[in-house]
Amino acid sequence: MSHTRHFLLGLAALALSVCTANPARAAEPIRIGVAGAHSGDLASYGLPTLQAVRLVVEEINAKGGINGAPVELLVEDDGCKPEIATNSATKLVSGGAKAVIGHICSGATRAALPIYRAAKVLVISPSATTPALTQSGEYPYFFRTIAADNTQAANQVEFALHTLNAGKIAVLHDKGDYGKGLAEYAQSLIEQSGKAQVVLFEGITPGAVDYSAVVQKIKRSGAEAVLFGGYHPEASKLVGQMRQKRLAIPFVSDDGVKDDTFIKVAGKDAEGVYATGPTDVSTNPLTKAYREKFRQAEGTDPGAFFDNAVAAALALTNAIAKAGSADPEAVAYALRTEEVATPFGAIKFDTRGEPVGIGFSIYQVNNGQFVQVR
Amino acid sequence: MEYFFELLFSGLTRGSIYALIALGYTMVYGIIGLINFAHGEMYMIGAFTALIVSSVLTIYGLPLPAILVLTALAAAVWAGAYGFTVERLAYRPLRNAPRLAPLISAIGMSIFLQNYVLLAQTPDFVPFPTLIPEFAFLEPYGGIVGSSDLVILAVSTLVMAALTLLIKYTRIGKAMRATAQDQKMALLVGINVDRIISLTFVVGSALAAIGGLLIASHIGQINFAIGFLAGIKAFTAAVLGGIGSIPGAVLGSFVLGLTEAFATGYVSSDYEDVFAFSLLVLILIFRPAGLLGKAAVEKV
């Protein structure tokens, strides 16, 4: 009985697959998932990336798809919430996604990755910067088109040691995941270099009414530069109080500070402050072309991570084309070996999945504007 | 030794900032026994009002001291009006309800006001102009203490003295004390209890607004959420000093501010809150009513 049933079922399945596969062979679409925050308070991070992927895919489909197969997008909104991201991932996997562009937030990405790993789905994130995602080695099919947080710390330390020639450095952070992570990484890099010492390593309380005690402590430590990991509200208070207490040493911070609000709020105290931020690529012709397309479609300037998402979509589709299939092993190999032209210039990926060719630069506030210094 | 004085002034600055807010907390509690969680929001609204008024006055080109005084007045009046309205809408209907009801209502009011300012103004930080002028005589000590530190310290001491005088020696103060002791009895002897309570809220909110102005000028930035953390710290300071006691609020604030500054200076700013709240726990174990609070005898 059970044998017959299995046999019949198998036969039926076979018939079904023959039925569906045959006529569809010419145009079996390649399904690519897009996951990120498309609603809620972090939608401003997710929506530009969705638009970017759509623009690239429309273009590819207009040219006849990848090796003749059209690209179909499966869009999932995870609201940047880890608990929703696991659902989104499950939906994308069961919907037949061969690869996923996303997720947007590091926390959501981390939550979703085990599901993709189990399903052998390749993931390429335009914006998740937590170092462990690639550097833990747990996710061989994870790539990103943004530099990891610790790249920033490496840039800052390099700059403080070799350009500012600081021998004593105070490292401060806001006790948050992002700021503290950066600060700890910077601390270990400074200590490894042997060229300078960390004379002070402290967390400050975000939102506190006064930072003068910690400023006095920096002064006493004899630091020749301050590295701060955190966001602009604390940075502007800290710089303001440093200048108030006649402490004129350089202040180097991160892309949480490289924000025009920082300059607006800190005013004249912002002058001369250094901050790392993504390298300016606005003169690259590819960048200009995609930003212009976005403007025509939406009527506004593209938001955060737009360029990164364009790069992710271009890299992924190029790799699928070069690999000749959407098999994750082959695509991953192509991503690592084939250079592709993106808004950041020609990029490829290293063995861990980090982009080679996308990085951070140091900016300095000069007359109320961030100017790239190197 | 210089380092000690630098930390001392940091602590005094923090302490006097807390004191400006804690005074209003403690006053409202002293009169009607309500912890007004929306008090931090009065501080925030005062700061926003001050920002708007001072920007307008700057356009008209008034001298800095005139701007400071007029802005302080405007912020105090406007926040006072908010305090009056909040009391009318959120607390008066609950006057005879169980104690928990107005407390929840106060928390609701705090959330409402924060979100109102978020929507009506901006979710971003906005710069606040320096309204307190630099004093030339402080120049040699600039690395230790600034003019805004001194002004905040002076204002909080003055306000404490004025409030104490108001409550001890005026007719209104007498009515306030009577209301605090027994509302029904106060009504019987002809005190308009509702008006006294309204007045308490207006004065408390006006004080918070002046605090908002001075502190925002010291820090240089404001947003809709600044009232929350400042309010929590000021509340802690008021409890530390003995909630309901005016000098207690100031003493508690200085103890809290100095503890935080010295903890930062000699240990680590990672642990400033740990030290501050450990101190609170210790004091409440040995003096449950706070440093200057009187142990209340429950009326039967």
In a domain, B49, yes or no: yes
**What integer is the mean pLDDT of B272-294?**
88
Q: How far is CA A202 from the centre of its chain?
A: 27
Q: How far is CA A305 from the centre of its chain?
A: 7
Same domain, A328 and A342: yes
In angstroms, the Cα distances linking B235 to A163, B105, B280 are 47, 17, 11
In angstroms, the Cα distances linking B103 to B19, B35, B259 are 22, 7, 29
Indicate the pTM of the whole model.
Answer: 0.77
Asked if A205 lies within 8 A of B13 by C-beta distance, the reply is no
DSSP class per residue in A198-233: EEEEEE--TT-S--HHHHHHHHHHT-SEEEEES-HH
Asked if A111 contacts A85 with a C-beta cutoff of 8 angstroms, the reply is yes
Residues of A with CB below 8 A from B126's CB?
Answer: 264-265
Tens-place pLDDT, residues B118-155: 999 888 889 999 888 888 887 777 777 888 889 999 99
- A123 pLDDT above the threshold of 80: yes
pLDDT at A130: 85
Same domain, A134 and A192: no
pLDDT band for A139, please (50, 70, 90 cuts).
very high
Mutate to test the interface with A, among B270, B271, B273, B275 (most CBs of A within 10 A): B270
In a domain, B44, yes or no: yes
In a domain, B186, yes or no: no
Taking CB atoms within 8 Å and a gap of at least 24, the contacts of A297-305 are A297/A51, A297/A55, A298/A51, A302/A48, A302/A51, A302/A52, A303/A44, A303/A45, A303/A47, A303/A48, A304/A44, A304/A45, A304/A48, A304/A127, A305/A45, A305/A48, A305/A49, A305/A52, A305/A104, A305/A126, A305/A127, A305/A146
Tens-place pLDDT, residues B59-74: 988 888 899 999 999 9
pLDDT band for A1, please (50, 70, 90 cuts).
very low
| Proportion of chain B above pLDDT 70, given as a percent | 98
**What integer is the mean pLDDT of B223-250?**
90
DSSP A256: T
pLDDT band for B299, please (50, 70, 90 cuts).
low
Same domain, A364 and A236: yes
CA distance A223 to A197: 9
pLDDT at A20: 46
Same domain, A91 and A134: yes
Nearest CB among A213, A246, A266 relative to B7 is that of A213
pLDDT at A347: 93
In a domain, B296, yes or no: no
pLDDT at A110: 92
Segment (H or E) for A360:
strand A360-366
Tens-place pLDDT, residues A25-68: 456 899 999 999 898 778 888 888 999 999 999 999 999 999 99
pLDDT at A14: 47
Single out the residue of A344, A355, A229 nearest to residue A283, CA to CA: A344
| Residues 6+ away with beta carbon under 8 Å from A138 | A113, A117
DSSP B90: I
In a domain, A23, yes or no: no
Tens-place pLDDT, residues A83-118: 999 999 999 999 999 999 989 988 899 999 999 999
Asked if B269 lies within 8 A of A217 by C-beta distance, the reply is yes
In a domain, A108, yes or no: yes
pLDDT at A362: 92
Give alpha helix (H) positions in chain A: 2-24, 43-62, 82-94, 106-119, 132-135, 149-158, 177-193, 212-221, 232-244, 260-266, 285-298, 306-323, 328-337
Tens-place pLDDT, residues B155-172: 989 988 999 899 899 999
| Proportion of chain A above pLDDT 90, given as a percent | 60
Same domain, A160 and A99: no
pLDDT at A6: 56
Same domain, A237 and A322: no
Same domain, A95 and A189: no
Distance of residue B187 Cα from the nearest chain A Cα, in angstroms: 41
CATH number reported for the structural domain that contains residue A318 in this entry:
3.40.50.2300
- B52 pLDDT above the threshold of 90: yes
Question: How many CB atoms are located within 10 Å of the residue A306 CB?
Answer: 23
- Which residues form the domain of A195? 150-280+360-372
Same domain, A158 and A272: yes
pLDDT at A27: 67
Residues 46-85 of B with CB under 8 A from A: none
pLDDT at B298: 54
The residue with greater pLDDT, B19 or A23, is B19
Candidate from A192-206, A251-265, B252-266, B286-300 with smallest mean pLDDT: B286-300
Strand A360-366 and strand A274-278: the pairing is: antiparallel
Single out the residue of A250, A177, A237 nearest to residue A207, CA to CA: A237
Nearest CB among A236, A244, A265 relative to B146 is that of A244
Split into its structural domains, chain A has a count of: 2
Residues 266-285 of B with CB under 8 A from A: 268-270, 272-273
Return mean pLDDT, chain B.
90
CATH number reported for the structural domain that contains residue B265 in this entry:
1.10.3470
Tens-place pLDDT, residues A3-25: 555 554 554 444 444 444 444 44
- B33 pLDDT above the threshold of 50: yes
Residues of A with CB below 8 A from B228's CB?
Answer: 207
Residues in A whose CB is inside 8 Å of some CB of B read: 175, 202-205, 207-210, 212-214, 216-217, 219-220, 232-233, 236-237, 240, 244-247, 261, 264-267
**What integer is the mean pLDDT of B75-82?**
96
Let me know how long chain B is. Answer: 300
- Which residues form the domain of B96? 2-164+192-286
Same domain, A120 and A241: no
Using CA coordinates, name the residue in chain A closest to B212: A209
Same domain, A184 and A264: yes
Asked if A236 lies within 8 A of B264 by C-beta distance, the reply is no
Classify burial at A68, counting beta carbons within 10 Å of its beta carbon; exposed 0-12, middle 13-18, buried 19 or more: exposed
Cα first-last separation, chain B: 54
- A72 pLDDT above the threshold of 50: yes
pLDDT band for A337, please (50, 70, 90 cuts).
very high
CA distance B106 to B260: 28
Question: How many CB atoms are located within 10 Å of the residue A247 CB?
Answer: 17
Asked if A216 lies within 8 A of B233 by C-beta distance, the reply is no
In a domain, A3, yes or no: no
CA distance B80 to B209: 8
pLDDT at A303: 79
Asked if B6 lies within 8 A of A216 by C-beta distance, the reply is yes
CA distance B272 to A204: 9
A71-77 β-sheet, strand order: A71-77, A30-36, A99-101, A122-125, A142-144
pLDDT at A17: 47
pLDDT band for B248, please (50, 70, 90 cuts).
very high
In a domain, B291, yes or no: no
In a domain, B184, yes or no: no
- B213 pLDDT above the threshold of 90: yes
- A330 pLDDT above the threshold of 60: yes
Classify burial at A273, counting beta carbons within 10 Å of its beta carbon; exposed 0-12, middle 13-18, buried 19 or more: buried
Asked if A243 contacts A335 with a C-beta cutoff of 8 angstroms, the reply is no
**What integer is the mean pLDDT of B260-283?**
90
Give alpha helix (H) positions in B60-86: 64-86
Please confirm whether the linkage preceding A103 is cis (ω < 30° from 0): yes
Single out the residue of B250, B245, B255 nearest to residue B282, CA to CA: B255
Asked if A91 contacts A108 with a C-beta cutoff of 8 angstroms, the reply is no
Asked if A207 contacts B226 with a C-beta cutoff of 8 angstroms, the reply is yes
Split into its structural domains, chain B has a count of: 1
Tens-place pLDDT, residues B90-119: 999 998 888 889 999 999 999 999 999 999
Same domain, A292 and A173: no
- Residue A34: phi and psi, rounded to 5, are -125, 115
Single out the residue of B121, B102, B98 nearest to residue B48, CA to CA: B121
Same domain, A232 and A318: no
CA distance A360 to A159: 12
Touching check for B233 and chain A: CB below 8 Å? yes
In a domain, A215, yes or no: yes
In a domain, B242, yes or no: yes
| Proportion of chain B above pLDDT 90, given as a percent | 53
CA distance A317 to B226: 47
In a domain, B70, yes or no: yes
Distance of residue A242 Cα from the nearest chain B Cα, in angstroms: 9
Touching check for B115 and chain A: CB below 8 Å? no
In a domain, A127, yes or no: yes
The residue with greater pLDDT, B136 or B79, is B79
Using CA coordinates, name the residue in chain A closest to B134: A244
Q: E strands of chain B, at which residues?
A: 126-127, 221-222
Single out the residue of A281, A265, A274 nearest to residue A370, CA to CA: A274
Return mean pLDDT, chain A.
88
CA distance B69 to B74: 9
Single out the residue of A236, A318, A354, A241 nearest to residue A57, CA to CA: A318
- A163 pLDDT above the threshold of 80: yes
**What integer is the mean pLDDT of A303-323?**
92
R_g of chain B computed on alpha carbons = 19
Asked if A203 lies within 8 A of B269 by C-beta distance, the reply is yes
